[in-house]
Structure 1
Amino acid sequence: MRILHTADWHLGARLVERERLHEHAAFCDWLIETLRTEKMDALLLSGDVFDAANPPQDAVSLYFDFLKRLADLRSVKAVITGGNHDSASHLNAPRELLRRFEVHVFGHGGENVVDLGGAVVAAVPFLRERDLRHAAPGEAMTDVQAQVRAAIRGHYAAQLQACRATAGKRPVIAMGHLTVLGATTSDSERDIHIGNLGAVGADVFAGFDYTALGHLHRPQKVAGMETVRYSGSPVALSFSEAGDMKSVVMIDTEGGVKIEMLAVPVKRALTRVNVNRATLAADLGNVLADSWAEVTVKLEAPESDLDRQVREAAGGRFEVLKVLAALPESQTSAWQHKGPSLNELQPREVFGELLKERQIEGDELRGVFDELLALREQKITA
């Protein structure tokens, strides 16, 4: 059986308020053609179909257009699981209709075993804390973390047993949307399992012939294991991913699991460039045409109109989305904030800065704050 693994589409995502829909549409076109030409039997989409629990209508339309085209192929089955950005109920709404076209959607956890014929899949979506344990007042964060991780292990063990009971000698594949220890993150992941609350070791997937992961946006194998992989996002979602090769994973189960990475064509390149103020125009001449750029300028002293100067120097050959200044320490004025900007911080980091400012010993407060964040996220994504 030939299976294609992808994840983290984040339909509806924006970058510095720029639409990404045309890039996602180009990816969907390419994916449909790849499924056809590579004679794929199944598609696995491991979470974060959308960028938000309430995605814009044009993103929803693109999703259903893709599923219609997938059904028209008449040869490719699909398994789609929810991620932490998805609303489980929103994703599940058309599941009974989609099942008639061999598209199996799982927004919530459960015994989600799918028999694809040539392989059996444990379709595990993002597991929220409420799916794994019952919270109690006054719990220590270390105890919560231990319970969550143990429950994730138990869930996958039960899924493996159910798959093996169905599969016989056929391969069994796990899907998951979570952080696996030792994997590499990028700036674009917004992890609601604060402090890696739900992060587990790759040994959780022992016994599965392949594990199709989502949640982290860089394509990678985990802990040196060829068969435990993040496919990565098909579109670069932040400038920290500018140098990444975006890809999907092709799996062939004939005579054992064989894996091949297939590069996704880039519709709009992202560029991260460091330049000197004295040679600004010449340095920017090396930036890829028609790309979106984040430009960091090395300065000797602050310049109030730096943004305008960089955009003028670009000359419309590419679009400058962000301009950053790199100043020597001696020139850093008192009004400049030496840390990241507020919009670059996660809520827990903001809370930590507040505790530092007030000189509060805050281990217990951090634990309570983590619980409040998790409860808020559960309400948003329910």
Structure 2
Amino acid sequence: MRILHTADWHLGARLVERSRLDEHEKFADWLIATLRDEKIDALLLSGDVFDAANPPQDAVGLYFDFLKRLADLKTVRAVITGGNHDSASHLNAPRELLKRFDVHVFGEAGDNLVDLGDAVVLATPFLRERDLRQARAGETMGEVHAQVRGAIHQHYNGRLESCRTLAKKRPVIAMGHLTVLGATTCDSERDIHIGNLGAVGADVFTGFDYVALGHLHRPQRVAGQENVRYSGSPIPLSFSEAADAKSVVVLDTQDMKIESLALPLSRVLTRVKASRAQLAEDLAAVPAQSWAEVTVQIDAPEADLDRQVREAAGGRFEVLKVLAGLPASQAAAWQHAGPALNELQPREVFAELLRERALEPVELTPVFDELLALHEARATA
């Protein structure tokens, strides 16, 4: 059996208010062709199908169009799990219908075992805090930390025996949407639990033959283990991923051979550093038709820096962000040197508010974290 592992599609995502729909459409076309040409028997999609709990209709339309094309192949079974960006109820709504086409969707926690014929899959979606523990008054962050990680370990370890019993001598595969220690992150990923308490060691997956992970957007092995993998996102979701080579993972269960298939690049994202004195010359190296983040090294703030960069680009590529590379003494005093509000995560905004009001974070931050967790749980229910 040949199994293709992918994750973190983030359908409906935008970058500095630019739609990524055309890139996702090209990825869907490539994936359908690859499933056919590579004679893939099963597709594993490990969470964050959508970028938001209430995705735009064009993103939902693309998802169902892909599933229709997948069903038309008549040769590929699919297992889809929810991520921290997904709404469990939104994903689960058509699950009984999709089962008729051998597409198995799991938006929320459970035993979730899928027998693919030549392998058994433990299809674990993102485990929300409510799935892992009951909050109690007066508990410390250390206690919460231990409970969350212990519960994640128990989820996988406690189901391994059931997987092995069902599989007999066949391979057992675990899916997961979480942070595993030792992996490389980037700035487009949202903290998956309060204070990243849900980060676990790769030993959580001991006993599984392959682990198909989602959440981190860079394709990578974890802790040097060939069989514990993040497939990564199919498109770069932020400029921090501009240099990443995107791929999917293919597993052959006959000999447990694991290989990566490179994804074609549908749009180039570029991070470029330029000097003020040689702005035009430095920008000449930026690929045409790309989207660029430009950092200009300057000695003092310039009010029209954004305009100057866009004029120097001359329409050859699109400038999405202009940053000022100021000396430390200048940058500290220039408010615009920091990221825009829409580039910050909620906890970063709250931390900035605390600094601005000179408020003590020790007592207020845990309260904010609890409220944010409740809000996110309701938004994705």
* TM-score calculated relative to the size of structure 2: 0.96
Contact 1:192 1:377 in 2 (8 A): no
Report the secondary structure of 2:303's partner residue: coil
Do structure 1's residue 207 and structure 2's residue 207 form an aligned pair? yes
Contact 1:140 1:367 in 2 (8 A): no
Report the secondary structure of 2:134's partner residue: coil
Match of 1:369 in 2: 368
Work out the CA distance in 2 between the residues paired with 1:286 and 1:348: 37
- Deviation at 1:34? 0.4
Q: CA RMSD in A?
A: 1.6
Match of 2:268 in 1: 269
Match of 1:346 in 2: 345
Match of 1:336 in 2: 335
Structure 1 residues 133 and 331: alpha-carbon distance in aligned structure 2, compared to 1, 3 A threshold: closer
- Deviation at 1:254? 0.8
Any runs of at least 4 consecutive aligned residues in structure 1 with deviations exceeding 6 A, and if so which? none
Match of 2:324 in 1: 325
Match of 1:28 in 2: 28
Work out the CA distance in 2 between the residues paired with 1:210 and 1:172: 7
Work out the CA distance in 1 between the residues paired with 2:330 and 2:356: 24
Report the secondary structure of 1:303's partner residue: coil
Work out the CA distance in 1 between the residues paired with 2:32 and 2:303: 48
Contact 1:124 1:175 in 2 (8 A): yes
Match of 1:90 in 2: 90
One-letter amino acid of the counterpart of residue 116, structure 2: L
Work out the CA distance in 1 between the residues paired with 2:224 and 2:280: 43
Question: Bigger CA drift: 193-202 or 44-53?
Answer: 193-202
Report the secondary structure of 2:12's partner residue: coil
Work out the CA distance in 1 between the residues paired with 2:91 and 2:333: 49
Work out the CA distance in 1 between the residues paired with 2:330 and 2:180: 41
Query: Deviation digits for residues 222-269 of structure 1, max 9, x if unmatched?
Result: 1111100100000100000000001100111113x1110111111111
Aligned length: 381
Work out the CA distance in 2 between the residues paired with 1:308 and 1:199: 42
- Deviation at 1:148? 1.1
Query: Deviation digits for residues 257-310 of structure 1, max 9, x if unmatched?
Result: 111011111111100000111111111110011110001111123222111111
Work out the CA distance in 2 between the residues paired with 1:281 and 1:53: 42
Report the secondary structure of 1:324's partner residue: strand
Query: Deviation digits for residues 94-152 of structure 1, max 9, x if unmatched?
Result: 00010011000000110000000010000000000111112222322221121111111
Contact 1:192 1:374 in 2 (8 A): no
Q: Give matches, 1:174-185, under 5 Å.
A: 174-185=174-185
* Structure 1 residues not aligned, in runs of 5+: none
- Deviation at 1:158? 2.1
Contact 2:71 2:101 in 1 (8 A): yes
Structure 1 residues 116 and 360: alpha-carbon distance in aligned structure 2, compared to 1, 3 A threshold: same
Contact 1:220 1:231 in 2 (8 A): yes
Work out the CA distance in 1 between the residues paired with 2:54 and 2:179: 23
Do structure 1's residue 233 and structure 2's residue 244 form an aligned pair? no
Work out the CA distance in 2 between the residues paired with 1:160 and 1:331: 56
Match of 1:44 in 2: 44
One-letter amino acid of the counterpart of residue 225, structure 1: Q
Work out the CA distance in 2 between the residues paired with 1:259 and 1:321: 37
Match of 2:160 in 1: 160
* TM-score calculated relative to the size of structure 1: 0.96
Work out the CA distance in 2 between the residues paired with 1:332 and 1:94: 51
Q: Give matches, 1:141-152, under 5 Å.
A: 141-152=141-152
Match of 2:252 in 1: 252
Work out the CA distance in 2 between the residues paired with 1:269 and 1:5: 24
